[in-house]
Structure formats: structure tokens, C-alpha cells
Structure 1
Amino acid sequence: PYSLPKLLAIDSVDWNKAALDLAFCALPHATTQRVIKALLASAPGTKVVDLSADFRLADPAAYARWYGHEHHAPELQKEAVYGLSEIYRSSIKSARLVANPGCYTTCAELALIPLLRAKAIDPDEIVIDAKSGMTGAGRAAKEEMLFSEVSEGFHAYGVGRHRHMAELDQEFSRAAGRMVIVSFTPHLVPMNRGIFSTIYVRGLKTSAEALHAILSKSYAAEPFVHVLPFGEMPHTRHVRGSNMIFIGLANDRVEARAIICAALDNLTKGASGQAVQNMNLMLGFPETLGLEQVALFP
């Protein structure tokens, strides 16, 4: 009476017989594109949210350059919609394939895209200093992931070559209407989950208070984006386990420069939570369905 139900392995699913409205794909990079290609060929009416990086980059050449191999489904790569829910909501609603953004990129893009669209900051003066908990590095059995290697330590990684840089460049260029190349450095901190990004920007003939007003107005009706009062800063504990992102902004002592701090949970708003948010949009459900839980504090 207590036996577990029979579970289907991914290689035993017959997509021709499976009755699916939507599939989440959370397989490793390069594996996902082959599975999704087969799924949509057999069941073209199925919708897909992909949590890997396989469909995030629209340019096949950029994908090959950053991931070291050609894309196996270039036609789907062109079709895929980038799933930054608050920014591309209307496109996501009608999409068949949505590429769920990365965790670092979700944090930085939500903090900066409204400012780039408003041409309120200099696109050539963006510096992103980001920190992530250990779950952001995956679950592989690596020496550098051992407790004794991580505990009581703090370090940068992927310096000048992290793959999320390609995603950031793509989305910031799209928002600014011209090519943008950002400075981005990720760090690993000894906590389980959470991302905290400190972003330095230079305003274009506008004050930090004006930048804050742009963000506040842009996200005033958004259920999952909370812009803090001017000068207040977020904490990873404020968003832990929730689908929220908290954004704070303050003046820098350097003239015309502002400091933006943003925090989210890399496992929810930075991954599975945003995937569910995108599913809700694609299937016509209330966008907040299943996502209104409060942060896990303490």
C-alpha cells in the first residue's frame, strides 16, 4: 500500500501519446535543445518553458562562441521568447517556447532595463558586482563545492568570462537601442540561496532621485518587484523563498553616479518561480497563481 508510483524517465516518454499543455525543461545545457526539438516536432501544440541557457541567446553565432558548440535547433532558437516576465509579458503570453532567464541576469536586468529604455543612464558606464549563494553553482560533485572549501570563504569566479555576460549584453543592447557591453563579476558566498547585485551607473543629465522615480513608476503595478524608498537597501533574507525582487537606489559620492542594489532568490525569481510565472502567462492563468508565498524568514 505504500509503494511509490511508477515514474517515467525522460527517454521513455512517447510525445505522440503524452497529453501535455506545457512542459518545463530543466535539463543540462546542450541536452535541452535536442529534447525540446523532439518534443515540439511530435507535439507542436505543447508549450515549453526551458530553464537551461539553450534558447536565451537569439544569435546563433553568440551561442556558439559562449557555449563552445553549434546550436542543434537554430529554428527554435529564433522562435524562442526571452522570459523576463515583467519586461516581455505580451510576447510571453503568445509564445510556444520561452527561455527562462538566468538568475544573475534576472536580477540585473530588472534593475536596469527601465533606466536604459528611458535613456537615463550611460550604457557604457555600467558595472555589476554580483554575489550568489551556493545553489547558484549547481549540484555537481566538485571539490570547490565541498562544505570545507566554501564555508568561511568568499571569492570571485568566471571573472571576465561568465556566460551570463552574453545574456546581459543582449538584453541591455535591446533596451538601449545600441550595443552595450557591461562589466560583470560574479562572486560565490557561503549561503545556500540568494543573489545580491550592487550596480554602479552614471546618470545622463538626471539625478539619482530621478532614476529612482523611473524605477518606481515602471514597477508600481508589478506584484513581484518592490522598489524600496530612496536610500533604503534590500537584504537577501527579505526575498528568500519568494518570487520577489527588492530594488534599492542611492546617491554615490561620485558626481552623477548612482548605486543600485537588488536582491532575489536564485531558486525562485531567478529560476523556478519565474518559470511558473511564465507558465501562468502562457496558459492564461492569473500571473501570481502559486507564487504569493512570503519570504522564508528567518
Structure 2
Amino acid sequence: MRQRKQNQEAEVQKSAWKEFLNEGMGDKLFDVLIYVLVLAAMAVTLYPFIYVVSISLSSGTAVNQGRVVLFPVELSLETYKMVMAYKELWISYGNTIFYTITGTFVNIIFTCLAAYPLSRKRFSLRRGLNFMLAFTMYFSGGLIPTYMVVTGLGLYNSRLAMILPVLISAYNVMICRSAFEGISEELFENASLEGANDFVILTQIAIPLIKPTLAVLTLYYAVARYNDFFSALLYLGKTGLQPLQLFLRRILLMASTEVMQASQSATVASAAAQSTIQIRYVCIVLAMIPIIMICPLIQKHLVKGTMLGAVKG
């Protein structure tokens, strides 16, 4: 009897151990599959970037002969020197920096001014304005009416055309409104009893408490401003007002040879003329530098941004 009981216990332990091994192998196989998929995604996304950088750093002869596959061949910075000597590149760079910094600053101010009253339950027009805000996310007047309004206001060929038409984003206002709603109502009531008005409550209490959210919204607005191409294409006809994105469009699609013609160094121009594709890729790399420098600094805010609104309670 005792022997039978021991055999049964041994069988139970053996089956439990087999089950544990099977589950462990399943988890390991799943982890391996995840790693393979992540590595494949990294390869697909990183290869074009590495290829563009390698083309920009290689010699024109190597590029023309198709010898550049992954890493630079016959390292050369001549094309960079030629492109960086083109004045219009730096003019468009300055315009983009101005539009990004000024536009983002104004965006954040007006987003807070719009979101705060919409988050207060005692605001009588709260429900109607929230509906109108959401309505604009799905329906708009269309491109031609918007263009007619902007030009009718005299904003064509003006720097304000890059700022005023996109003063706020309805989606970002909703995010900011939710952040304000997450603040305890008792805090606002206590501040009111102490004699603080709404402006003081907004600037000294509400905004400091939602700094992580504002950091994410600043990132969203800044990236949108930096990449804004369509607004400039519609409203800016003067070359001296156009941002970097329109400069890249002209170089990539229309006239990469104008950079070579404008180069002051005939030697550099003749060397780089062997491959006009290098001109395009160098311009792309120069345009990516600010984003590449900023991304490591704002990575934690990107993670927070993806979690906004994901957890309630």
C-alpha cells in the first residue's frame, strides 16, 4: 500500500515536472519569436537610414558604380562641404527653427487656455464647446475654404500663415483637458477660498501639476511644426520664407543640380557632380540631425505620451 502511494506521488511529480518543462519551452519559443520579429523590424527600419548616411559619406565614383551597399565606400565629405556652402539651406533651416520654436510656444499657451475652462464643471458652456471641439476632428470646411480664409486675412506670404491656421490641435486640447480634469477639485476650491482667481489657479497650480503632459504635447507640436510641409506649400510663395521641408522638396524632386551650380568651389562641384543622388541624401541627413539629437533627450516623454489616457482611476 505504501509502495503504491509512493509510486502515485512519483507519477504526480513527474507529470508536474513535464508540464513545467513544456510550459517553459513554450515561453522560451515565444520569447525567441518576439526577439526575431524585433530584430527583423529593426533591420527593416534601420537599413534605409544607414544606406542614406553611407551614400552621403561615400565618393561619387563609388556611388555611381553601385559599390555602396551598407557602409560608406571611399569616405568623402566633399558633398557635405558643397551643400553646406549653399546659403539657401541655412535660410530654410532658420525659418524652420523659427516656425518650430515660436509656433510650439504659441500652441502650448492657447492649448492650455482652451483646455482649462473646458475641464471646469462649473463652466456653463462646457458641454456645447466640447461637442464643437470634437466635431472639428471629424468634419472641416475643406481645403479651398480654408485657403480662401487664410488669403482673405492677408496671411499669404507671411510668417503668420505658418502659425495662426494651426494655432491649436483639437486632439491635443482633449489630452490637456483630461489632464486638468485629473486634478483634485478640492485643490481648486481651496485656492478659490484663499482668493485666487482662475488665471492664478491656471498658471500657479494647474499648469505645474500637468508638466509631464505639457512636455508630451510640446513634443507633439514641435515635431508637427518641424515636419510641416503642406501649409508652407499652400501659403508661402517667397523662397526666403520657406522652411526646410520645401527646400528638401525642391532638391529631391526638382533641381539638385542648382546646389552644384551655386557652389563656389569648381573642384568640389566637379567631384560631387558625379552623383546628384548624393546631393539629395546629404540634404536629407542634414535635415534629420536636429531630430536625431533631440530624440534621446525626450525618449522618456515619448513613453509617457503613449500611455496618456491608457490607465484610469
Class of the TM-score when normalised by the shorter of the 2 chains:
under 0.3
More strand by share: 1
**Structure with bigger gyration radius:** 2
TM-score where L is the length of structure 2? 0.26
Q: Indicate the structure whose relative CO is greater, using CA pairs within 8 Å and at least 6 residues apart.
A: 2
Q: TM-score, normalised by structure 1?
A: 0.26
Tell me which protein shows more helix as a share of its residues: 2
